[in-house]
Amino acid sequence: MQRKGGQKGSGSVRVADVAAARELKPAAPVVVRRPEPEREEARASVAALAPLIEMNQGEPEHREFPRAQLSTRFDVWVDDEDGARRFAASLSSVNVSVSGAFLGSTFYLPLGTVLGVRFSLESGAAPVLARAQIVREERGDGPGGRSGFGIRFLDFSGQTEVALARLFVGARLRAFAEEYLKSQRARSLPNELERVVDVLSAWELLKATGTEANPWQGK
């Protein structure tokens, strides 16, 4: 009887022991959510890094296109008739447009010289590759006393000019597409390709008609 009583006692669990065990369990992890104001500040800081876009001031390398006040590294080089590299340098741009750029420099090459150029518009992005021609120079007597030369892009390699175009229209086109895709017409289209074609058609129509407001917003 004592043995059975001992077994019963060793297998029993007291309420106090259960309560104590519960108190020893680790607390659930606390999830700290980032405050919304900080997210807004982060968005604002990213927007602040965007280059300043302005209309062309008459420089031939920009023609009628807007230009961006953008300082980025340009690798430039000159090859001879046999394709051998005979000159190479790294320069920093003062401004860039779809059709050309102004590069700060303390040395000069003859006007009309054709260069190979490579540059990136943002960190980690694929570089833009092009051939360019020197169309003018400034020897410290230009605006702000700057020194360098203007280049006009002749052609691009591997569709890299798309990255350059996005610098100027990417933000506006993205905002337009986001609004247009909310429209009843866009939602009724059968697949993603048809929606892309429709957005581009609406974008071109908007440009052709000169309408400033998005007529499809909220429809």
CATH class of 52-164: mainly beta
Report d(CA 184, CA 109) in Å as an integer. Answer: 57
Digit-by-digit pLDDT tens for the chain (219 residues) are 555 544 444 444 454 554 444 454 445 444 444 444 444 443 443 343 456 666 666 676 666 677 888 899 999 999 988 878 889 999 999 999 888 999 999 899 999 999 999 999 877 778 999 999 999 998 876 556 789 999 999 999 988 888 888 887 877 888 888 888 899 899 899 999 999 999 889 888 887 886 555 554 544
The full set of domain ranges for the chain reads: 52-164, 181-209
Residue 42's pLDDT is 39
34 to 27, 28, 31, 43: CA distances (angstroms)? 21, 19, 10, 14
C-alpha span between 183 and 79 (Å, rounded): 52
Count how many residues are written for the chain: 219
Helix (H) / strand (E) element for 43: namely: helix 36-48
Residue 4 to residue 2: CA distance in whole angstroms = 5
Does the pTM surpass 0.85? The reply is no
